[in-house]
Structure 1
């Protein structure tokens, strides 16, 4: 069994260590749990839910209390919105084309000087870039032109 988000099971299922009330994903998320049909709320995972948001417990108790007039039964599904969707976050300020252009110019200067290039994972901090997109630019614009590069990860 894997604990790494980078190593999903063959089915695509990911098993992670962490807090299910703080899902590690972008976009809309549903936190699933199962409930009994006796109106009980107070043990297990629901305690973590209640500590984070009051709405699910209130909704469940009301749904149970009014069960004679609604669809409350084993197997029923109830979705309770606990946070307002703020919409898509603004795009990160990184502009990969500009990074490629900069690296191309850097390669010319490095070759002129016979220099090696040393850098952190550029563009992946405040600029919001993804190293999976930056690394191929470094390889294409610097390494493939014969410039030796060392990338440093800060401890």
Structure 2
């Protein structure tokens, strides 16, 4: 297994340029809230990820909905969206942003297993760095250690 480098490109992470199976990964909060940030673009394209996330949250007493969990939702033949719970709440408290790096690390570890199993590439915006308040210099090493080190192709998209 060889290390791959993260590919950076300008474009829309909801329209991945991939040959073969692909997973679009993004960060969700643990409050069941969906409606700001990257999820708006996801919902504009497919209803399933939001619907699945809301059901997952509604039945959280009897499933794995929690920080660190990943829900894989199929949106097309070779395309899935990974709803990853990596954000605690939606606002900063006591000076700490909602991002939870340990949860994101767990998300990415699970994502790596899912991507490997289906030989999928992974596509994402700069996860955790928008409304979650994270910094890319903390997120990028997690992507390297969990995905790139396992030879999984990762493409990070920056909008024009």
In the superposition, the TM-score normalised over structure 2's length comes to 0.46
Q: Which has the higher contact order (CA 8 A, sep 6+)?
A: 2
- TM-score, normalised to structure 1, is 0.48
From the CA coordinates, give the structure whose radius of gyration is larger.
Answer: 1
